[in-house]
Amino acid sequence: MKKLAKSPWMLHYDASSCNGCDIEVLACTTPKYDIERFGIINTGDPFQADILLITGGVNAQCESVVRQLYEQMPNPKVVVAVGICACTGGVFKDCYNIKGGIDTVIPVDVYVPGCAARPQAIIDGVVKALEILEEKRRNYKEEKKEER
């Protein structure tokens, strides 16, 4: 793993989760799972984040927030949808206010299924996201070179 992959900072956003998945995300930072050993920091700031971790489906109210968070993150960046709600809308899929999974609003790179997603699965998903992040970083670097 190189540069970015060694220091991924993540931003956790609760779109319209039932909070089950959020608890599991927070469990990842506890001593038992300790994601900081991979250099992962749970930052609250989109400007400093590399990974956007979203739980829950998108509803009419939070759609603009999800878009804004995604746009405020500097390139290269990846999005991880955690829990079946974030992947497809899950049990809330047919609710009048739910648009569906996160990918109805912004591009999603990794889907972590489960209800609630287990901490092990979340960590696996994030590690998978790191590979994609590394690839995006390489592409981003080449793009920048071409621009010059």
State the residues that interact with ligand SF4 by CB under 6 A.
Answer: 17-18, 20-21, 55-56, 83-85, 90-91, 115-116
Q: In the complex with ligand SF4, which residue's Cβ is closer, 85 or 133? A: 85
Q: In the complex with ligand SF4, which residue's Cβ is closer, 56 or 119? A: 56
Strand order in the sheet with 41-43: 41-43, 9-14, 51-55, 78-82, 110-112
Q: In the complex with other proteins, which residue's Cβ is closer, 10 or 98? A: 10
Q: In the complex with ligand SF4, which residue's Cβ is closer, 53 or 84? A: 84
Partner whose footprint covers residue 88, from other proteins, ligand SF4, none (CB < 5 to 8 Å by kind): none
Helix or strand (DSSP H, E) at 82: strand 78-82
User: What is the Rg, in whole angstroms, of the alpha carbon atoms belonging to the chain?
Assistant: 15
Residues that bind other proteins (CB under 8 A): 3-4, 6-7, 31, 34, 36-39, 41-45, 47-48, 50, 72, 74-76, 137, 140-141
Partner whose footprint covers residue 113, from other proteins, ligand SF4, none (CB < 5 to 8 Å by kind): none
Total Cβ atoms within 10 A of residue 3? 10
For the bound state, the minimum distance from the C-beta of residue 33 to ligand SF4, rounded and expressed in Å, comes to 17
**Cα–Cα distance for residue pair 8/133, rounded to 1 Å:** 9
CA of 33: how far to CAs of 78, 89, 109, 118, in Å? 22, 27, 23, 11
**Cα–Cα distance for residue pair 95/92, rounded to 1 Å:** 5
